[in-house]
Structures are given as structure tokens and as C-alpha cells.
């Protein structure tokens, strides 16, 4: 199957439902930046795509950072004065602060309170808290529960382990005609949260699955890594590989029903920035383009000045700017099948540009060639817009002077890239156009 057929045959409903189902399958697992939850998640992903699971030992120096101890938790409960359960890790994994040290202790409510976290503005939600790099522990509760706690003796039982182990991440590389690469990166370090984490994991897994099924110009690298420490670790151990990345996207928060938001790479005008903006601008739907800022997800590391890679961030609701962010309300009802499918489609449309952009030369530049006698006015059947394709033939012929790429022509013509690409293919076939070899 050719890449173009992925677009022609794209079934939004089926893709959306399958993406939501996959997120649902992964939802109950307790992930963190290390530990068995990440391994379990990666094993499930590896059933769908050729995924290498890598283990980087605790204590490994990665630039200015060190791979931390591995964290796992068997059980954790907080019981009230009458022995009743106040918080239980088994009920909802957000109830335990991630990376909590082991604790087996009785204490008063006053001693306990500094270790309790809630969201007063959303009294029924459980917040998400972590303490990766400082030994601490805590329970996260609905504010309504916290407010109602009586004085008395509380029993804290946290059966966690912080041990020498490793940081686990997954890497799927699909070789293409060239060793130049497209990087897609998502984080797999959040426990039961859907938009921040699993939407990106589901869409990235499906992208890899689809791209594996077609011939590719580029080599594709899909990374499933713990946020921050994962990208730092990968970059520290793959400096040469990073030099081969021509285009990249960090993908997360792509399942809520808000419109897409794209944060440009640090360079700001790279091909990935222009391709995403073009695809979004063609849809006649709202979207937001933002300039790079050194805060957010792993684009912070890919775009650190020593690397300055052409990597942007694709989200729908942006990081930290939706109330459900980092809470139990970021659940499976918060992500929508149509939004997941729309995000997947958007990235495939971007891949179409990255795979097929190029500059061509018109071999018949003295006035317009006669298209009718070459059958070029009749060939446009099928689903695509015939008017677009006819216009695309004229635009491609006129601007194929070696100096304008197909994306630039599409931009100028305000035509969808697939129409420009299809016109180009037909003109090459008819002997009216040839590829301009890259300089
Ligand atoms: Zn997060």
C-alpha cells in the first residue's frame, strides 16, 4: 500500500474508537518515570509495533542529570481513627503521591496534614502529585474528604520500594529510503490520566503501526519515554542520532475536544513548523500557533540550545491550561474518539508533506502545455476535488522553476497539499515535469 492510501482510506470513526479503546486498555496501569508500570505499558505497545524496550541503569549520568532510583509500589492505604479507609492506592493510583518513600507509621491529623494534597477549587477531584527528586511521601484526596477528616490517630501504610534498578523506555525505528529521520516523541510516565499521557501514547502507537505498513522516504523514530528525564537520557546517549533528525513532534494532550494548538520549534520557521501550520490553515477550523517557550513537555530538551532540533509540540488543550490537567478529571470521558482520530489524521497530513515535498522543473515552460491532448483534464476521478486538481496542475506547472517547493506552491495556491502532490505526480508521468535534484 502507498502512503497516499492511508489518507484516502482513513476512517475517522473506526480510528477514533480504536484509539479510545487502546487508551482505555492502558488507563488502569500505575506508571511513573521508572518502574514496572512503564514496562507493562511498553509490553502492550510492543504487541502492535516493533518496539525495542531499553533499560538505563540507576546512577547513569545523563548530561547534568542522573538516572534516579526505580520506584514501584505494591499497596498504600491511609486509615482514619476508626480504621476506615481514607485513601487507597488500589482504588485510584492518583491517591498516592508518585515516588512516595515507604512509610509504616501512626500519626495525628496535624502531623499528617502536610502530606495531604487536594484541589479546593474542584473538591471532588483527586490531584496528581509527584516527588521524583526529593524523598517525600503523600496522599492525594478529594478536598471534600480532606475537609471532613476528624481528629485522631491515622495509620499510614505505604509499601513502596525505591531501589537501584533502571529507567525504561521504548523506541520504534522504521527504516526509510534515507537515514534522515522524523522523530515522534510521547511520554509514558503518568499514572491513570487520559489526555496528558495516554492520548499521545495511543496516537503515537497508531502512527507507528500505519507507517510500518507503507514505503517511507524518511526513517521514523517513535519514542515512548518518561517526561524530562527520558528525553534527556535519550539525547545524552544518542547525540549522533539526534543529528539525523530533520523533523520532529512531541505529541500529547491530543484527545480533548478543544481545537489543536501547535507550539513551534525553537528555530520557529523549520519545515515541521511550516508543514503543521499549512495543514491547520487548510482545515477551515480554529487552531492556535504559538512560538517556542522553554517550558512544557520534552520539546524543552530537544530544543535546548545545544541541540536546537526542529521539534514542535502538538496538543489540543495546551499544557496546564485546562482545569482537568493533572487530576482525576483527566479521565477516559475527557478524551473523545473524534478528537483522537482528528489528531492522528492531522499528523498523517503533515507526514504527507514531509514525505512528498520537493522542487520540480517544468520541462515545457514556453506558454502552457496543452493538457487536454495528454489526457490530463480527464484523469481526475475518484474522491478528490476535480476543480482543485485542475487548478493544481496549472499552479504546479507555473511555479515549478526549481525555486519553489510543492509546499510553497500549495501555500501560494491555497490548495490542499494532496491536490498539489497528485498534480505533480501526473505531470511527471506525462513528461512535463522533472524533480530538481537537491543541491
Ligand atoms: Zn503531565
Give the integer Cα–Cα distance in Å for 432 and 435: 11
Q: Which three cell numbers stand for residue 343?
A: 489528531
Give the integer Cα–Cα distance in Å for 90 and 104: 17
What is the model's pLDDT at position 407?
A: 98
Distance 157 CA to ligand 1 centre (A): 26
Task: State the number of CA atoms in the 13 A half-sphere of 130 facing the CB.
Answer: 14
What is the model's pLDDT at position 386?
A: 74
Q: Give residue 1's pLDDT band: very low, low, confident or very high (50, 70, 90).
A: confident
| Strands laid side by side in the 401-405 sheet | 401-405, 359-362, 433-435
> What burial class does residue 290 get, using C-beta atoms within 10 Å of its C-beta: 0-12 exposed, 13-18 middle, 19+ buried?
middle
70-163 architecture in CATH? 3-Layer(bba) Sandwich (3.50)
3-67+166-356 and 359-435: identical CATH topology: no
Of 91, 89, 95, 92, nearest to 75 by C-alpha is: 89
Question: Following CA atoms 323, 22, 18, 280 in sequence, which dihedral angle do they give, to the nearest 10 degrees?
Answer: 50
pLDDT value at 379 more than 60: no
CB count in 10 Å sphere of residue 284 = 5
pLDDT value at 238 more than 80: yes
Pairing of strands 103-108, 153-163: antiparallel
Distance 437 CA to ligand 1 centre (A): 44
Distance 325 CA to ligand 1 centre (A): 7
Give the integer Cα–Cα distance in Å for 91 and 76: 10
Give me the residue label for grid cell 502492535: 48
- Phi/psi for 35 (5° steps) reads 110, 180
78 with 85: CB under 8 angstroms? yes
- Phi/psi for 87 (5° steps) reads -145, 140
> What are the domain boundaries of the chain?
3-67+166-356, 70-163, 359-435
Averaged pLDDT score across all residues of the chain:
96
What is the model's pLDDT at position 377?
A: 72
* CA distances from residue 41 to 101, 188, 221 in whole angstroms, order as listed: 23, 8, 18
**Which residues, including other chains, have CB under 8 Å from residue 270's CB and lie 6 or more apart?**
247, 310
What is the model's pLDDT at position 209?
A: 98
Task: State the number of CA atoms in the 13 A half-sphere of 58 facing the CB.
Answer: 13
> What burial class does residue 329 get, using C-beta atoms within 10 Å of its C-beta: 0-12 exposed, 13-18 middle, 19+ buried?
buried
Give the integer Cα–Cα distance in Å for 43 and 296: 27
pLDDT value at 408 more than 60: yes
Regarding the domain delimited by 359-435, which CATH topology (the fold level of the hierarchy) does it fall under? Arc Repressor Mutant, subunit A (1.10.10)
Beta bridge mates, 12: none
165 with 70: CB under 8 angstroms? yes
Q: Give residue 389's pLDDT band: very low, low, confident or very high (50, 70, 90).
A: confident
Q: Which three cell numbers stand for residue 16?
A: 477514533
Q: Give residue 362's pLDDT band: very low, low, confident or very high (50, 70, 90).
A: very high
Distance 326 CA to ligand 1 centre (A): 6
Distance 174 CA to ligand 1 centre (A): 28
Residues with Cβ within 5 Å of ion ligand 1?
Answer: 196
pTM score = 0.96
**Which residues, including other chains, have CB under 8 Å from residue 15's CB and lie 6 or more apart?**
206, 340, 341, 344, 345
Beta bridge mates, 161: 72
Distance 320 CA to ligand 1 centre (A): 8
Beta bridge mates, 27: none
> What burial class does residue 372 get, using C-beta atoms within 10 Å of its C-beta: 0-12 exposed, 13-18 middle, 19+ buried?
exposed
Distance 190 CA to ligand 1 centre (A): 7
Q: What CATH code is assigned to 3-67+166-356?
A: 3.40.630.10
Distance 94 CA to ligand 1 centre (A): 13
Q: 100 versus 372: which is more confidently predicted?
A: 100
What is the residue-wise DSSP string for 42-80?
HHHHTTTS--EEEEEETT-EETTEE---EEEEEEEEEE-
Distance 430 CA to ligand 1 centre (A): 52
Q: What percent of the chain has pLDDT over 70?
A: 98
Give the integer Cα–Cα distance in Å for 230 and 228: 5
H-only helix segments in 139-296: 143-147, 200-212, 229-237, 239-242, 271-281
What is the model's pLDDT at position 45?
A: 98
**For the chain, how many residues are written?**
439
Q: Give residue 384's pLDDT band: very low, low, confident or very high (50, 70, 90).
A: low
182 with 237: CB under 8 angstroms? no
Instruction: Identify the weakest region by mean pLDDT among 258-267, 380-389, 390-399.
Output: 380-389
pLDDT tens profile 293-329: 999 999 999 999 999 999 999 999 998 899 999 999 9
Q: Give residue 382's pLDDT band: very low, low, confident or very high (50, 70, 90).
A: low
Q: What is the DSSP-derived secondary structure letter of residue 92?
A: -
What is the model's pLDDT at position 372?
A: 85
Amino acid at each position: 500500500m502507498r502512503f497516499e492510501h492511508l489518507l484516502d482510506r482513513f476512517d475517522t470513526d473506526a480510528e477514533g474508537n480504536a484509539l479510545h479503546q487502546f487508551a482505555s486498555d492502558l488507563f488502569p496501569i500505575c506508571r511513573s518515570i521508572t518502574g514496572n508500570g512503564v514496562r507493562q505499558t511498553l509490553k502492550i505497545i510492543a504487541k502492535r509495533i516493533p518496539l525495542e524496550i531499553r533499560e538505563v541503569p540507576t546512577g547513569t549520568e545523563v548530561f547534568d542529570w542522573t538516572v534516579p532510583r526505580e520506584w514501584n509500589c505494591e499497596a498504600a492505604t491511609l486509615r482514619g481513627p476508626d480504621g476506615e479507609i481514607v485513601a487507597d492506592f488500589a482504588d485510584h493510583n492518583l491517591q498516592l503521591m508518585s515516588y512516595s518513600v515507604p512509610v509504616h507509621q501512626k500519626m495525628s491529623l496535624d502531623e499528617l496534614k502536610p502530606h495531604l494534597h487536594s484541589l479546593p477549587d474542584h473538591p471532588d477531584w483527586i490531584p496528581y502529585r509527584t516527588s521524583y527528586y526529593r524523598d517525600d511521601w503523600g496522599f492525594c484526596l478529594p478536598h471534600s474528604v480532606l475537609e471532613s477528616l476528624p481528629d485522631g490517630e491515622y495509620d499510614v501504610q505505604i509499601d513502596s520500594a525505591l531501589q537501584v534498578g533502571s529507567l525504561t523506555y521504548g523506541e520504534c525505528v522504521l527504516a526509510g529510503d534515507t537515514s534522515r529521520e522524523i522523530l515522534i516523541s510521547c511520554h509514558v510516565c503518568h499514572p491513570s490520566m487520559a489526555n496528558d499521557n495516554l492520548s499521545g501514547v495511543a496516537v503515537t502507537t497508531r502512527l507507528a503501526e500505519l507507517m510500518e505498513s507503507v514505503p517511507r522516504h524518511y526513517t521514523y523514530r517513535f519514542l515512548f519515554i518518561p517526561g524530562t528525564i527520558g528525553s534527556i537520557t535519550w539525547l545524552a546517549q544518542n547525540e549522533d542520532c539526534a543529528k539525523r533528525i530533520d523533523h520532529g513532534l512531541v505529541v500529547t494532550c491530543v484527545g480533548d475536544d478543544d481545537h489543536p494548538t501547535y507550539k513551534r520549534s525553537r528555530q520557529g520557521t523549520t519545515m515541521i513548523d511550516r508543514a503543521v501550520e499549512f495543514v491547520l490553515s487548510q482545515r477551515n477550523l480554529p487552531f492556535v500557533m504559538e512560538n517556542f517557550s522553554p517550558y512544557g513537555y520534552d520539546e524543552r530538551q530537544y530544543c535546548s540550545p545545544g541541540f536546537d532540533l526542529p521539534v514542535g509540540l502538538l496538543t489540543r488543550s495546551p499544557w496546564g491550561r485546562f482545569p482537568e490537567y493533572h487530576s482525576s478529571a483527566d479521565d477516559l470521558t475527557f478524551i473523545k474518539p473524534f478528537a483522537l482520530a482528528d489528531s492522528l489524521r492531522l499528523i498523517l497530513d503533515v507526514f504527507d508533506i514531509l514525505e512528498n515535498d520537493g522542487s520540480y522543473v517544468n520541462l515545457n515552460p514556453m506558454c502552457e502545455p496543452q493538457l487536454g491532448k495528454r489526457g490530463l483534464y480527464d484523469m481526475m476521478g475518484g474522491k478528490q476535488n476535480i476543480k482543485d486538481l485542475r487548478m493544481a496542475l496549472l499552479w504546479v506547472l507555473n511555479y515549478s522553476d526549481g525555486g519553489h517547493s510543492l509546499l510553497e506552491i500549495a501555500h501560494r495556491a491555497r490548495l490542499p497539499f494532496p491536490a498539489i502532490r497528485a498534480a505533480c505526480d501526473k505531470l511527471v508521468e506525462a513528461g512535463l515535469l522533472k524533480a530538481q535534484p537537491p543541491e
